[in-house]
Amino acid sequence: MTVSALRRVSLAIVAAVGLLIATGGPASAERERIVSFDSDITVRPDGWLHVVETIEVVATGDSIRRGIYRDFPTRSLTEYGVNRRVDFEIDRIERDGRREPYHTEQLNAGVRVYVGNADVLLRPGRYRYTIAYDTSRQLYHWPDTDELYWNVTGDAWAFPIERATATVHLPEGAAVGQTDAYTGPRGARGDDFRIVGNSGGTLRIATTRTLLPGEGLTIATAWPAGLVDRPTQATVIGRAVYDNAGLAAGAFLTAVLLVYFLVAWHRVGRDPRKGVVFPRFEAPDGLSPVAVGYVWHGGFGNGFGVARALTVAITSLATKRRLVIDDDGKRRYTLSAVKGARGKLPPGELAVYKALFPHGRDTASFGSEYEPAMGRASSVLLDAFDWEYGRAYFRSNSRPWLIGALIAVTATLSSLVIDATGQDAWLIVSVMAVFATALLTIGTTMVILVSGRWSRAFSIGTPIRPILSLGQLVGGIAGFLAAAVVGLILADFVAPAAVPLAALPVLVTIAFWFLMKAPTRLGRRTLDAIEGYRLYLSVAEADRLNSAGREPEVTTALFETHLPYAMALGVEEQWTDKVMARLEASTDKPFDRGSYRPRWYRGDGSGFAKAGTLAGALSQGLGSAAAHAMSRPSSSGSSGGGFSGGGGSSGGGGGGGGGGGW
């Protein structure tokens, strides 16, 4: 071969390679796409549509390996956030004129039809698929017209559509009225279409450009009313209930729940009638300071937790000269038993004393870390008072409340699970419903508890409790927000209106958890007596107490006797201020604030040199240390106007969906 011949061959090879690169190779000419999408839509007199979609595709084996799939929406949402479902019945499916196997899969808002055999792979080439189906509830009925607003192709195809057409056959005698169409992605109002034909009740529309993946064709056409059956009002209501069976069941069960709880509360949950309250100068007979706090607060909660109750018990033991409190000023305390002390202790305080000083020990220290002795003391305190006072003074009414809680669970799950659609949607929705219920319960309970303490927190005169309450309030709000996020996720599986409806039984049940608790008659009488006693401890003006008789003379001994009770009732600062004012106003014995130093407390707070120092040191410092010491650490670890055309857009109306290859 000559040099010139070699040169010509080389140039030819280079040109061929360049051409191959420039054209993107042979595959570029046969990329997967929809060559044509022809939809033939017949509007039947009964209001149903018969739709025949003929879809010609180019398959290369990339996405279209066994066939195509077609998504058809069967659930949409009304303006009220409830479901509106349509019927979808497959008539036939063919490939190149022959019947083709298919199977369906339920989606969140529709049906996916897989066309093809899972065990058969297609050869690369062109295929013509025919999908014929019937669907109902797709027409819009206006006063003078009926309308078909139809998303012909859907706007969720994975392939471009080179050409799309829609042929609409109206019922006999109908003439095509106002007509419009839209192209582009969902919400667009593109006009890349032309009306190919409009005669004899038949309308034909075609696109004028290739629709890209995610774009579609939507049409809207109207005709005079009276040629298509319209549903009666009873049918509309019945179908709305059928479409939202879960909502209907949830609403009914929620109403049953409300009636049940109201009847149960009226029968067993109402408080006995309150008696006449007058100031009392002593605690009710036989009640220790912790018992007074327990009854007044309705148990260990609502501002009277176990840590505060333990602080009250320790202070009471100290004022009775059974132990001495040493405060090192660094949030660490040492309790020392007093040898040879006499006097009978209430059962609860005796149990706490034995837990603090077991096996003959005479000291107990605690601070910011867990201490077994404090853990034991808190446990015996819980056991002693819940057993001794819980049933005698209060009725929890837990059994009727549990029945209501079961109704609430049924109502919540019915609202969500019955209408859930999609693969394993009931399981997903059930798990999320439990999670959201837990978050909502935590958030609601924290907000209720904090709101009950808020006024007391500011009345104490210290920023610590309001800050703690604010933290709990933020935690409660965080629980609400987290539950709302889960609710938004749930709205992908159920109607949005179902989410707040499902939350309502939970909120009602939480509210009645507090409302169903009621004092017994003994508890009501004791509460009246405690209220009168609290009035004496907290009211400074003597003339407001004159009607109760002669008030006892104020002394330091009287102060110590009532201090644990004042702490239990949350009025220790008022009681301290009252005693100081009385002692300072005494003309017989001028009072020196610094002269009072109780033998049972040693620390910087000894004395009245600063207002409320002693009470504050006991209720705050001691209480905070007790809370840490009794808590075991956790383990480490990891349209309008009668026509939608004027305000429509691509992707609107019925039909729609999309598809792809599989």
Q: Are 33 and 160 in contact (CB under 8 A)?
A: yes
Q: Are 355 and 377 in contact (CB under 8 A)?
A: yes
pLDDT at 112: 94
Does residue 202 surpass a pLDDT of 90?
Answer: yes
pLDDT at 628: 60
Closest CA to 320 of 572, 598, 554, 593: 598
Which residues share a beta bridge with 202? 169, 199
**360-374 confidence digits (pLDDT tens):** 788 888 876 777 778
Q: What is the band of 398 on the pLDDT scale with cuts at 50, 70, 90?
A: confident
E strands, 144-275, in order? 145-151, 156-157, 164-169, 179-184, 193-199, 202-207, 216-224
Q: Which comes out higher in pLDDT, residue 382 or 119? A: 119
**557-590 confidence digits (pLDDT tens):** 898 999 999 999 989 888 888 888 887 777 565 5
CA 442 to chain centre: 10
**86-95 confidence digits (pLDDT tens):** 999 999 999 9
Does residue 279 surpass a pLDDT of 90?
Answer: no
pLDDT at 634: 45
Rounded to the nearest integer, the mean pLDDT of the chain is 82
CA 245 to chain centre: 22
Q: How far apart are CA 573 and CA 614, in angstroms?
A: 9
pLDDT at 607: 46
**431-474 confidence digits (pLDDT tens):** 888 888 888 887 777 776 666 555 444 443 333 445 556 666 77
**594-626 confidence digits (pLDDT tens):** 566 788 888 765 544 443 456 655 666 666 666
CA 594 to chain centre: 55
Does residue 15 surpass a pLDDT of 70?
Answer: no
HSE value, Cβ hemisphere, 13 Å, CA-based, for 203: 24
**305-343 confidence digits (pLDDT tens):** 888 888 899 999 999 999 998 888 777 888 999 987 777
Q: How far apart are CA 54 and CA 40, in angstroms?
A: 8
pLDDT at 421: 73
pLDDT at 223: 92
Q: How far apart are CA 106 and CA 510, in angstroms?
A: 36
**139-169 confidence digits (pLDDT tens):** 999 999 999 999 999 998 999 999 999 999 9
Closest CA to 312 of 320, 631, 339, 449: 320
Q: What is the band of 29 on the pLDDT scale with cuts at 50, 70, 90?
A: low
Determine the average pLDDT of the residues in 511-518.
Answer: 88
Q: What is the band of 64 on the pLDDT scale with cuts at 50, 70, 90?
A: very high
Does residue 22 surpass a pLDDT of 50?
Answer: no
User: In sequence order, what DSSP letters do the residues of 471-495 get, joined into one string?
Assistant: HHHHHHHHHHHHHHHHHHHHTTTS-
pLDDT at 466: 52
CA distances 424 to 81, 244, 420, 488, 493, Å, are: 23, 19, 9, 18, 11
Q: What is the band of 546 on the pLDDT scale with cuts at 50, 70, 90?
A: low
Does residue 263 surpass a pLDDT of 90?
Answer: yes
Strand, coil or helix: what is 175? coil
Does residue 648 surpass a pLDDT of 70?
Answer: no
What whole-number percentage of the chain has pLDDT above 90? Answer: 39
